Amino acid sequence: MRLLIAFLILLVLLLQYRLWVGPGSLAEVNNLKQEISAQREELVELRERNRALQAEVEDLRSGQSAIEERARSELGMVKDGEIFYQVINPPESSPHE
């Protein structure tokens, strides 16, 4: 009888070890849930970024206004007959001068 009780206690301890520490433990499951949550958030951000990029591609394919805007902002281009003014702010003087 004592041998059976000792065996059952050992079995319970092994199962408790696996529940708390071993593979598939509660801590591991919790970590995996956190990783899934973080990956879902990243996926939402990436999908939003893809939507914005797709909209930009469609704008560039469909009209000249998007191409013109990009040429002006990124390349500094101007149309014929326009005058380009560049305003340069003077450097701030330090209070010690």
What pLDDT does 34 receive? Answer: 96
DSSP for the chain, please give it. -HHHHHHHHHHHHHHHHHHHTSTT-HHHHHHHHHHHHHHHHHHHHHHHHHHHHHHHHHHHHH-HHHHHHHHHHHH----TT-------PPPPPPTT-
User: What predicted TM-score, i.e. pTM, was given to this entire model?
Assistant: 0.50
Q: At what angle do helices 26-62 and 2-20 cross, to 10 degrees?
A: 20
pLDDT along the chain (97 residues), means of 10: 91 82 81 96 97 88 79 81 84 72
What pLDDT does 48 receive? Answer: 97
What pLDDT does 85 receive? Answer: 81
